[in-house]
Amino acid sequence: MMQAWEVLMFVLMAMAIAGGLVTGAALAPQGFLIAILGAPLGGSLCAALAAFVLMRRRGADWREDADLDARTDAMVASLRALAERGRSTDEVPSASAGTRAA
C-alpha cells in the first residue's frame, strides 16, 4: 500500500506531466520549437501550483512537525552515545590481540 507522501508525489508528478502536455498543446499553433520550449515551463508551474494547493489543504499539520525535530534530536543523541561507547571499548586492548602478535 502506498504511503501518504508517495501519493502526494504521484499527484505532483501527474500534474507536471499534464501541465506540460496542455502547455505544449496550447503553444503548438505558435510553432513546434516554442511548444517544445514552453512545455517544461508549463509543467513546472502546474506542479508548483499543485504543491501549493496540497500545502494549503494540509492546513496546520505542517506546524506539528516540531515533535519530529525533538525525536530526531533524541535519536542523534542516542547514536552519539553508542558511538562514544564504541570508541571507549576500542581503546581497551583485548587479551587475544596480544597473543596474535606474539
Q: Which residues in the chain come in under a pLDDT of 50?
A: 102
Q: For position 48, what pLDDT does the model report?
A: 94
Whole-number pLDDT of residue 76: 92
Under 8 Å between Cβ of 25 and 42: no
Does the pTM exceed 0.85? no
Handedness of CA 59, 64, 65, 68 (dihedral sign): negative
Q: What is the pLDDT of residue 68?
A: 75
